[in-house]
Amino acid sequence: QVHLQESGGGSVQAGGSLRLSCVASGDTASRKCMGWFRQVPGKEREGIAAIDSDGTPTYADAVKGRFTISRDNAEDTLYLQMNSLEPADTAMYYCAADELSSFACPRAMVVGFALSHYSGQGTQVTVSS
């Protein structure tokens, strides 16, 4: 069993930055692949970043060059540094975890971690113009 708790969301103006954190606990084998997805009410979830157990990141085109995913395995924490935020980034942000290999981890992001076993409760990010 894995428990994930996100924090760090808030309201910022366009061009601003936020850093999301996700503290994980539980079975480490079940969270080799971790990542972030976001969702706006009425729309499908969107995977935006993933990181495998070796620390190799993958990004969706919508956030590439602006967001940075990282993980601190010693602290059991996943991060998402978000820079140059845009109003289109407004959404609820969730972290997710799965036991997927490095080969499969990017694919999980493509489907928004919809098949992942674990996700948190989410943290709201609102970007105003």
The b-or-e profile of 42-63 (16+ CB within 10 A means b, else e) is eeebbbbbbbbbeeebbbbeeb
pLDDT in tens, 15-33: 999 999 999 999 999 999 9
> What number of H helices and E strands is found in the chain?
1, 11
Q: Tell me how far apart the 2 most distant CA atoms of the chain are, in Å.
A: 41
d(CA 23, CA 95): 9
Band (pLDDT 50/70/90 cuts) for residue 117 is confident
CA angle 8, 26, 63 (to 5 degrees): 35
Average pLDDT, the chain: 96
Nearest to 119 by CA among 30, 14, 18: 30
pLDDT in tens, 56-96: 999 999 999 999 999 998 999 999 999 999 999 999 999 99
DSSP string for residues in 93-117: EEEEEE---TTTHHHHHHTTTTT-S
